[in-house]
Amino acid sequence: MTRIKRGTIAHKKREKTLKLTKGYKWGRKTKERAAKEALLHAQSRMFKGRKEKKREFRALWQVQVNAAARKQGVSYSVLMGALKKQKIEIDRKILAELAKTEPKVFVKIVEAAKIK
């Protein structure tokens, strides 16, 4: 049986780990063992962070829509309920953007919902 040397494959594996830890502080970007440990923690937090990001942005959009809706004399919940009844399907992200950049269009959307 022939002898197989793993030198190149092992080196590639280590280089891949170090490439992923580029930008980390201290020895975690240069030392293989520290880099591997840092990646184990970082990858779990990256997954969690992506989920939290969605949550935080939705909350931000709700606040922005509520602020714009209250200027029209309507609360957020009443506005969203009226939009749903009228089958106006505009998501919170777009509503928040319209409230910030195009207030006249937002007013027309509120009027189209015919809130009483």
Q: What is the pLDDT of residues 24-72, one digit of tens each?
A: 999 999 999 999 999 999 998 999 999 999 999 999 999 999 999 999 9
Q: Which stretches within the chain are classed as H helix?
A: 7-20, 32-71, 76-85, 92-101, 103-112
Both structure tokens of 14:
């280590």
Give the chain's domain count. 1
Cα separation, 29 vs 43, whole angstroms: 15
pLDDT of 6: 81
Nearest Cα to Cα of residue 18 among 37, 44, 4, 3:
37
Task: Tell me whether residue 2 is in a domain.
Answer: no
The conformation of residue 2, written as its DSSP 8-state character, comes to: -
Cα separation, 86 vs 2, whole angstroms: 75
Task: Tell me whether residue 1 is in a domain.
Answer: no
pLDDT of 7: 87
**What CATH number does the domain containing 89 carry?**
1.10.1900.20
pLDDT of 18: 96
**Owning domain of residue 42:** 7-112
